[in-house]
Copies of this chain bind each other. A is one copy, B any other.
Amino acid sequence: MTEAATPDSAPAAGPAPRPRRGRPPAFDREEALSAATRLFWERGYEATSVTDLTAAMGIRPGSLYAAFGDKRSLFEEVVRRYGRSPVGAFVGVALAEETGARAAFARILREAAAIYPDPTHPAGCLVISAATNVTPQDAGVQALLRDLRNRNRQVFEDRLLAARQDGELPPGADPKALAGYIATVIQGMSQQARDGATTEELGRVAELALRAWP
C-alpha cells in the first residue's frame, strides 16, 4: 500500500565508486536508514525521537544532521525508500504484473494478508500508520502520507475504470466506489495486523472482501 509506480527505472548503481576526499563516513547509510525505518514504522513520526534514532542508527546527532538534513528530511527519505522496498511496493508490482484487474486486486489483498503481519518487520504499513497522531506543527508530515494514500486510491480507480472499458467489469460497476472499498479494506487490514491479527486471519478477511467483486 504505497507507490503504485514501476519498480525501478533509475540508472541503478552510480557509474563508478569514485573515491571521495575527506574523512569517510563511519556508518553504512543503508543500514542506518533501515534502522530508522524500523523505528518510524513501529512508533510513528513524532513518537520517534532523534535520541531514539541516533541510538538505533549507531551515530551521534551531528552525523545524523550532516547526512540526512533534519528529522523531517530523514523521514521523507525513509518513506521514499520504503516505497521502493518489497513490502512497500507490492501493490504497484501486482498492478504492473497482473493482466486482469480482478487478478491484480486479489493478489494485492492476499499479499497484504501475508506481508502486514510478517514478524520480520513492524506490523502493518508505514504509509498508513506512521503519521496518524501529530501536532499541528507536523501537519505536513501527516499530509505527505495522506496524499500518498489518496494517490494510491486514484491508481486503483484508474485501473478499475480501464477494466470496465475492457469489459472485465460490468457497465454498471462503479470504479470510484470499488477503489474506495479496496483502499478501505487494505487500510483496515494494516490496522488489524497492528492489533495482532495473523496472516491466516487476514487471509480469510481478504477472501471475504473479494466476494464483493462485481
Contact = CB atoms under 8 A, between A and B. Distances in A.
B46 A195 contact: no
A101 to B, nearest CB: 15
Interface in A180-205: 180-181, 183-189, 191-192, 194-197, 201-202, 204-205
A102 to B, nearest CB: 14
Interface of A: 43-47, 49, 128-136, 146, 149-150, 174, 176-178, 180-181, 183-189, 191-192, 194-197, 201-202, 204-205, 207-212
Contact of A208 (B133, B136, B177, B207): B177
A146 B208 contact: no
Given A188-B187, A192-B184, A133 B44 contact: yes
B174 A204 contact: yes
Contact of A212 (B47, B136, B188, B212): B212
